A and B are shown apart, each in its own frame.
Chain A
Amino acid sequence: MAAGKDAFEIRIHGRGGQGAKSASQLIVEAALDQGKQIQAFPEYGPERTGAPMKTYARISDKPITTYEPVLEPDTVLVIDPTLIGQVDVTGGMHKDSVLIVNTTETPEEMKKKLGFSGRVYTVDATGISIKLLGRNVPNTPMIGALMKITGVIDVKYVEQRVEDMFLKKIGREKTDANINAIKTAYDEVKG
């Protein structure tokens, strides 16, 4: 978090329908369980499936009053690697900011591609998702990577939320697979 700021600010880039909104919600719900003040909101455009979109999240020990979009994120998550080169994913990042990209490429390759010298981490969230969940839902594993790199909240609160949200809906086996995907991304993120 940048000096002088009260809130840890996150920006998530995805495409409509990829779960960027659910991801930001899951992050702040876990933070709430850890006793934090929270805020999460998407930047709503015309709401088209597949169109580039952003969501924001703030986590703080103090009440969050501003409704300004996150302009200088402490962390940026890129859920869809095809957005690289299409959307300004590094915009507003400061020297301590962290960029985490869902890609099979290495952090060095990603830095070169972006022409960006800041802190870049990569994780194959799509690969993890297909392997463990049987489909491409990289948003949940990306949260595991976020927790590992930033430590903004304890990963156990995320796992508990996933358990609460999914168990009734999709059963034990699939819930465990989701938690496993988070843990795997937590372990495998590189940078």
Chain B
Amino acid sequence: MMAEAKHKVVSLTGNYAIAEAMRQINPDVVAAYPITPQSAIVEKFSGFVNNGLVDTEMVRVESEHSAMSACVGASMAGIRTMTATCSAGLALMWEIVGVASGLRCPIVMPIANRAISAPINIHCDHSDSMGARDLGWIQIYNETAQEAYENVFLALRLAEHPKVQLPVMVCEDGFITSHCVQNVKIFDDAVMKKFIGTRKPEFALLDLKNPITVGAIELQDYYFETKRQQQEAMENVPAAYLEIGKELSKITGSDYGFFQEYKTNDADAIILTMSSATGTARSVVDKMRAKGKKVGLIKLRLFRPFPYEAVAKALEGKKIVGVLDRSMSFGAHSPLFGEIRNAVYGMKDKPALQSYVFGLGGRDLLESHVEQVFEELLAGKTNDEIKYLGLREVSQ
């Protein structure tokens, strides 16, 4: 463990930890609309504004569509801009979510992942942000309140990196993480302030000496080139992510790889998943290891851009991998499983893969479910079907 900078250990929910990060960042503009289970982020941050702990211009909008619209305007003006949302809120801002990435706005948006209706449901799954995975935003998924807190800072620097200039979603699991009180290390205000520095935009609407046009129409003539540049920006993310992560780890002592491997070296079976499920799975790995079962875990953090090469390198030569998705892509491979399948394509010594779906609409992922997955994987049981965990219908 690396040395850690000055900090205090406090008890915070995921939402309050994210609000703390926002307080320390002190964005120039926050425009947001409340939606369960994200509301506590904005509610807490509004208190900071009211009490003068930040000098943010808080824009109280009438909808998420307006929230993102206000954020795009502020961000293009050249200033630091944040918002937060989830589920139906993200769905309502959809049109402008694509505008934010297309205009290369470095907006940071925490998401308290929640199911998409119908049936109406306020609990956790990843349908909201997974549905937005092709809208050109960077996506970082977090297991704990601590990880979400730290990654808000990483996200801000990544978004504003001169070779990136893209918006970032920082995802935590709705209720499971957003409303769970945990030990959280809050690093010193001055240290974090120094880490984030100031935004230095290459172009800004309010840079009146260098006037620019923003949001112009591009038809058959230039749209294609602009979109190709978005791809280039995404391709620049991995290097910038690692570089910023290295710098942040000097403060926090944490590692910021694209993913985190846990006891995978000699593992006969591996689970690959994201967010809070990895915490539950890690507990199972420890218990099964104590019984002599060689099982391991990979927690993916960076989902967009997807780190295909690094994942492939980690999985090469492994026997069998169960991929646990908390969302579905109806009629297709589930989002994470599909990417893992892509990552191992062309690999000589590729592992057998099995797709599992769990936790839709907040259904509990129990340790017994994870153990069941490991036992199936250790027995070499795979097929081309999706296996469902904790589902009441008989599915296999």
Contact = CB atoms under 8 A, between A and B. Distances in A.
Interface of A: 24-25, 28-29, 32, 37-42, 44, 64-69, 71
A28 B181 contact: yes
Given A66-B283, A67-B279, A68-B364, A41 B180 contact: yes
Given A25-B181, A28-B181, A41-B180, A66 B9 contact: no
B11 A28 contact: yes
A32 B145 CA distance: 15
A164 to B, nearest CB: 12
Interface in B173-189: 173, 175-177, 179-183
A39 B282 contact: no
B9 A32 contact: yes
Given A25-B11, A32-B11, A66 B367 contact: yes
10 contacts: A24-B181, A38-B11, A40-B180, A41-B179, A42-B179, A44-B362, A66-B279, A66-B282, A67-B276, A67-B277
Contacts of A67: 173, 176-177, 180, 276-277, 279-280, 365
Contacts of A42: 179
A28 B176 CA distance: 17
Nearest to B9: A32
A182 B362 CA distance: 35
Contacts of A25: 11, 181
Contacts of B362: 44
Interface string B162-197: 000000000001011101111100000000000000
B364 A69 contact: yes
A132 B175 CA distance: 35
Nearest to B369: A68
Contacts of A40: 11, 180-181
B161 to A, nearest CB: 31
A65 B283 CA distance: 6
B182 A39 contact: yes
A42 B176 CA distance: 9
A40 B180 CA distance: 6
Contacts of A29: 11, 181
B123 interface: yes
Interface in B262-300: 276-277, 279-280, 282-283
A34 B373 CA distance: 37
A69 to B, nearest CB: 6
A123 B180 CA distance: 28
A44 B123 contact: yes
A2 to B, nearest CB: 13
Given A28-B11, A29-B11, A38-B11, A68 B365 contact: yes
Contacts of A69: 364, 366
Given A29-B11, A38-B11, A71-B366, A44 B280 contact: no
B364 A38 contact: no
Interface residues of B, number: 25
A68 B180 contact: no
Interface string B1-37: 0000000011100000000000000000000000000
**A-B complex: 7 closest residue pairs judged by Cβ atoms:** A66-B283, A41-B180, A65-B279, A40-B181, A65-B282, A67-B276, A66-B280
A38 B365 CA distance: 20
A39 B12 CA distance: 9
A38 B181 contact: yes
Nearest to A30: B11
Interface string B339-382: 00000000000000000000000101111000000000000000
Contacts of B9: 32
A191 to B, nearest CB: 29
Nearest to B175: A44
A36 to B, nearest CB: 8
A13 B175 CA distance: 19
B281 to A, nearest CB: 9
A69 B173 CA distance: 15
Nearest to A33: B11
Contacts of A24: 181
A73 B180 CA distance: 18
Contacts of B177: 67
Contact of B181 (A39, A66, A71): A39
Contacts of A44: 122-123, 175, 179, 362
A37 B183 contact: yes
A68 B277 CA distance: 9
A41 B279 CA distance: 15
Given A32-B9, A38-B11, A44-B175, A68 B183 contact: no
A10 to B, nearest CB: 13
B389 to A, nearest CB: 13
A105 to B, nearest CB: 32
A65 B280 contact: yes
A131 B11 CA distance: 32
A169 B258 CA distance: 45
B92 to A, nearest CB: 22
Contacts of B176: 41, 67
